[in-house]
């Protein structure tokens, strides 16, 4: 192989690796580059409310429950009582399971297999808020996702939750849920508030990679993963 | 009473109210003014690590335990096992109580009366980190506190924890613990990551008011409250 051919092959291999979803470049929030992206980001109105209530999933299948808890608290929706802090009330990963939520899936089954996008949507809807379900499949596409999610992240009465596959973001793991907290148009990245905080930090991920990570089949749901837009009046 | 005299009395009353510690103007982090203060603040190097692990106290006397948990996680100190997320490990408000910590004060007593500044310092020190204890009393003063705390908040290897009385900040409640996450020299304010998140949001509080809130006697300790500087090598 000539030197020039060898160089071309090497460059092509590098380009392929750089494009591979397994090598998506997510940026942890404590990276100096992330601080700059945050400073520039315009769609981040719910960020401060979300970090006020940001918490870890209580166990390894509670990503959906933790995401819902954070989002409901951040929207000031009246919660069921929380005995340990009575007379104060806040959503936690235990009192979230009211009778209406239990009817969708009880903790025993969530411990086994987590939640699908539609199950989580139903649970959040049980608290009287509007929940739009968008599976990452035609006719929805990357542009539609970016437009809907970035508009919601600029609206104080809306929140966004994603159901995605970690591998596509180059992270260890499989299907996962987390809230989005911001969108930056310059870098075209979303901030994912990862709820498995014992494992990975919050990250800024390229919109195209977030889309690709949602456009994966959830075998429990027999449908693609996707995103929720949660809205109060 | 003449109109002029009446006006003078009214103005004096307003000035007195404005000066009263019970009317300190803390700014919640989701206020637009807070976003501006955060953007301008220079001493905030640990902020992103702290919010990665920011959590609520598990019950109403666990403010010190929650503060220690957040700070130890943010410094990447090896934690005891956390059974629900095994094989991952992170500090939580239960596994924090190793044998060395239990010897200082067990949960049964923390549930009754919380922790003094020195008890909390001892517990954190049990994890092999350096902890400087500064009671808010002479020879320490506001200038000393501001200098030490703002320098620590600009150091990636240091964290600051405060033990204060809420009333002085115009908040409902009494003795409390929380981490500081940033300092802004322009507004001369510290960001308090309040761990009683079911009750109050994180706030930017004037340095003088933070000092005054620490310069109050803790009757359990028979000493003034104060602040800790926690440092890794």
Question: What tens digit of pLDDT does each residue of B9-30 get?
Answer: 565 554 444 444 444 599 999 9
Decide if A88 and B56 are in contact by the 8 Å CB cutoff: no
Question: Is B49 in the A-facing interface, judged by CB distances under 8 Å?
Answer: yes
Query: Does residue A19 have a pLDDT over 90?
Result: no
Compute the distance between CA of residue B233 and CA of residue B221 in angstroms, rounded to an integer. Answer: 29
Decide if B35 and A48 are in contact by the 8 Å CB cutoff: yes
Compute the distance between CA of residue B67 and CA of residue B24 in angstroms, rounded to an integer. Answer: 23
Residues 1-20 of chain A with CB under 8 A from chain B are none
Query: Does residue A156 have a pLDDT over 60?
Result: yes
A189 pLDDT tier (thresholds 50, 70, 90): very high
pLDDT given for residue B4 in this prediction: 62
Interface probe with B: pick from A194, A198, A200, A204, most Cβ of B within 10 Å: A198
pTM: 0.90
Query: Å from A124 to nearest chain B CA?
Result: 20
Query: Does residue B7 have a pLDDT over 60?
Result: no
What CA–CA distances, in Å, run from B92 to A112, A176, B27, B222?
Answer: 23, 22, 29, 29
pLDDT given for residue B21 in this prediction: 42
Tokens for B116?
């003094």
Query: Does residue A134 have a pLDDT over 50?
Result: yes
ipTM: 0.88
Mean pLDDT, chain A, rounded, equals 92
Question: Is B89 in the A-facing interface, judged by CB distances under 8 Å?
Answer: yes
In chain A, which residue's Cα lies nearest the Cα of B28? A48
Tokens for B198?
């079911």
Tokens for B209?
């008011």
What would the pLDDT profile of B133-164 be if each residue is shown by its tens digit?
Answer: 999 999 999 999 999 999 999 999 999 999 99
Comparing CA positions, the residue from B49, B69, B55 lying closest to residue B156 is: B49
Looking at chain B, the whole-number percentage of residues with pLDDT higher than 90 is: 88
pLDDT given for residue A7 in this prediction: 57
Compute the distance between CA of residue A203 and CA of residue A182 in angstroms, rounded to an integer. Answer: 11
A104 and A190 in contact (C-beta within 8 Å)?
no
- B198 → closest Cβ in A29, A85, A198: A85
Query: Does residue A203 have a pLDDT over 50?
Result: yes
What would the pLDDT profile of A51-83 be if each residue is shown by its tens digit?
Answer: 999 999 999 999 999 999 999 999 989 999 999
pLDDT given for residue A2 in this prediction: 59
Q: Could you give the dihedral angle defined by the CA atoms of residues A142, A146, A149 and A155, in that order, rounded to the nearest 10 degrees?
A: -160
DSSP codes joined into one string, B42-104: SB-TTHHHHHHT----SSTT-HHHHHHHHHHHHTTPPPPP-GGGTTS----TTTT--HHHHTT
pLDDT given for residue A174 in this prediction: 96
What would the pLDDT profile of B183-211 be if each residue is shown by its tens digit?
Answer: 999 999 999 999 999 999 999 999 999 99
A121 pLDDT tier (thresholds 50, 70, 90): very high
Tell me the domains of chain B and their CATH numbers. Answer: 25-231 (3.90.70.30)
Cα angle B88, A89, B30 (rounded to 5 degrees) comes to 80
Question: Is A42 in the B-facing interface, judged by CB distances under 8 Å?
Answer: no
């Amino acid at each position: 192989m000539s030197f020039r051919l060898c160089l071309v092959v090497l460059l092509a291999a590098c380009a392929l690796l750089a494009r591979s979803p397994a090598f998506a470049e997510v940026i942890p929030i404590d990276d100096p580059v992330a601080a700059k992206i945050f400073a520039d980001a315009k769609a981040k109105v719910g960020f401060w409310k979300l970090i006020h209530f940001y918490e870890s999933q209580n166990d390894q299948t509670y990503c959906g429950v933790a995401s819902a808890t954070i989002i409901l608290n951040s929207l000031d929706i009246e919660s069921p009582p929380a005995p340990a802090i009575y007379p104060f009330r806040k959503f936690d990963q235990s009192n979230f399971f009211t009778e209406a939520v239990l009817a969708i899936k009880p903790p025993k089954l969530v411990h086994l297999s987590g939640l699908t996008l539609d199950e989580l949507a139903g649970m959040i809807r049980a608290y009287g808020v509007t929940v739009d379900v968008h599976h990452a499949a035609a006719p929805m596409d990357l542009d539609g996702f970016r437009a809907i999610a970035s508009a919601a992240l600029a609206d104080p009465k809306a929140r966004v939750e994603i159901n995605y596959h970690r591998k596509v973001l180059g992270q260890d793991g499989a299907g996962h849920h987390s809230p989005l907290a911001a969108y930056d148009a310059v870098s075209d990245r979303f901030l994912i508030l990862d709820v498995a905080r014992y494992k990975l930090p919050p990250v800024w991920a390229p919109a195209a990679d977030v889309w690709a990570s949602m456009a994966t089949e959830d075998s429990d749901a027999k449908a693609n993963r996707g995103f929720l837009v949660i809205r109060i009046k």
